[in-house]
């Protein structure tokens, strides 16, 4: 079997995909790419080959991709030169003879509805690059990560309540583990060529639903208060957050409020062979309830 390479090997998503892959195929067919290969040493212990690669270093990418058939491209972090980084990967993949690239994009209903600075436009541009690259591709549009809810609404939200600029918008979050397992399934199956998939919980919840879920789990009333982006940013700044970070989180809230994440798909369930976690399981796990 040809080799499958996963980028971002030391990150939360890439690492989880690699660990899921070795449950499905021999570790000798799995390659982990990382900028810091020492941090990836625990993967090498599993029998996974670790290779150096940096999105900003084209030659390192060509070398890393040698003998690889499929790449799982974990999107670069926000506020980096994401399009240039992704283009380096795509062009290097073509030069190295890679056949198939799986790219982690963002969930959206259309290209205008989720204007998250540092994310949406670069994801759309990357999808277009892939479609025109001549490579076989699969685009997987991820939802809000369930594991990141404490960062978004506050680690103490289950006890103190929470205020975010999400209005009555709805989300269908899924965990890194679920999305990684689904990604590994896509990488080890055929039939997903040149397809775009939405992966999420299969149902959506409002932030009032989240507050009500906390109440059921804790036995105490929990309040959700919708607020404006301006109020949210000012509150976070008063807590010492950098303005850019507060604005970034508020952009997610505004996109949610506009309905960008109010759509559900059964694709994740199909790939997992089971239903994704429901709201109470998500909250219990993310907030240690």
What band does 109 get if pLDDT is binned at 50, 70 and 90? confident
The pLDDT, as a whole number, for residue 113 is 64
Query: Where are the chain's structural domains?
Result: 4-146+174-201+263-277
| pLDDT exceeds cutoff 90 at 30 | yes
CB 103 within 8 A of CB 161: no
- C-alpha 252/C-alpha 283 separation (Å) is 19
Mean pLDDT value across residues 170-186: 98
Mean pLDDT value across residues 86-111: 94
Structure confidence by residue, pLDDT tens digits, 190-228:
999 999 999 999 999 999 999 999 999 999 999 999 999
Lowest mean pLDDT among 116-130, 166-180, 196-210, 249-263: 116-130
Helix (H) or strand (E) holding 52: strand 49-52
The pLDDT, as a whole number, for residue 112 is 67
* 83 Cβ contact list (under 8 Å, min separation 6): 122, 125, 126, 129
Q: Which of 182, 191, 137, 136 is nearest to 21 (CA)?
A: 182
- SS3 per residue for 240-274: CCCHHHHHHHHHHHHHHHCCCCCCCCCHHHHHHCC
Lowest mean pLDDT among 26-35, 105-114, 185-194: 105-114
Structure confidence by residue, pLDDT tens digits, 224-268:
999 999 999 999 999 999 999 999 999 999 999 999 999 999 999
The pLDDT, as a whole number, for residue 114 is 66
Q: Chain-wide mean pLDDT for the chain?
A: 95
What band does 1 get if pLDDT is binned at 50, 70 and 90? low
Structure confidence by residue, pLDDT tens digits, 49-64:
999 999 999 999 999 9
- C-alpha 142/C-alpha 105 separation (Å) is 6
Taking CA atoms, 282 is separated from 103, 148, 259, 264, in Å, by 25, 11, 21, 16
Task: Decide: residue 137, CB within 10 A, 0-12 exposed, 13-18 middle, 19+ buried.
Answer: buried
Structure confidence by residue, pLDDT tens digits, 4-13:
999 999 999 9
Q: Which CATH architecture has domain 4-146+174-201+263-277?
A: 3-Layer(aba) Sandwich (3.40)
The pLDDT, as a whole number, for residue 116 is 81
pTM exceeds 0.75: yes
- C-alpha 139/C-alpha 25 separation (Å) is 22
| pLDDT exceeds cutoff 80 at 115 | no
| pLDDT exceeds cutoff 90 at 119 | no
| pLDDT exceeds cutoff 70 at 22 | yes
In which residue are the tokens 């798909």 written? 265
The pLDDT, as a whole number, for residue 259 is 93
- Compute and round to an integer the Cα radius of gyration of the chain: 19
Mean pLDDT value across residues 142-163: 97
Q: What percent of the chain has pLDDT over 90?
A: 92
The pLDDT, as a whole number, for residue 120 is 83
Q: Which pair of tokens denotes residue 130?
A: 């892939």
């Amino acid at each position: 079997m040809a080799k499958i390479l996963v980028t971002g090997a030391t990150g939360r998503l890439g690492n989880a995909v690699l660990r899921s892959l070795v449950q499905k195929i021999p570790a000798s067919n799995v390659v982990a790419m990382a900028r810091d290969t020492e941090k990836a040493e625990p993967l090498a212990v599993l029998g996974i080959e670790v290779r150096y690669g940096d999105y900003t270093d084209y030659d390192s990418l060509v070398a890393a991709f040698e003998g690889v058939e499929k790449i799982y491209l974990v999107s670069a972090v926000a506020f980096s030169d994401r399009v240039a980084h992704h283009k380096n990967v795509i062009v290097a993949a073509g030069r190295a003879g890679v056949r198939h690239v799986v790219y982690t994009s963002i969930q959206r209903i259309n290209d205008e509805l989720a204007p998250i600075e540092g994310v949406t436009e670069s994801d759309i541009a990357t999808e277009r690059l892939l479609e025109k690259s001549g490579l076989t591709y699969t685009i997987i549009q991820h939802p809000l990560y369930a594991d990141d809810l404490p960062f978004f609404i506050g680690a103490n939200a289950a006890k103190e309540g929470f205020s975010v600029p999400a209005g009555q918008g709805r989300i269908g979050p899924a965990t890194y583990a679920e999305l990684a397992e689904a990604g590994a399934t896509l990488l080890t199956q055929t039939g997903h060529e040149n397809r775009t998939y939405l992966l999420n919980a299969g149902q959506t919840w409002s932030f009032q639903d989240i507050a009500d879920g906390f109440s059921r789990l804790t036995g105490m009333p929990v309040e959700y208060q919708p607020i404006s982006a301006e109020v949210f940013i000012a509150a976070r700044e008063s807590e010492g957050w950098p303005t850019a970070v507060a604005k970034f989180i508020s952009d997610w809230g505004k996109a949610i409020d506009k309905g960008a994440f109010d759509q559900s798909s059964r694709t994740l369930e199909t790939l997992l062979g089971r239903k994704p976690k429901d709201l109470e399981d998500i909250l219990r796990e993310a907030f240690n309830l």
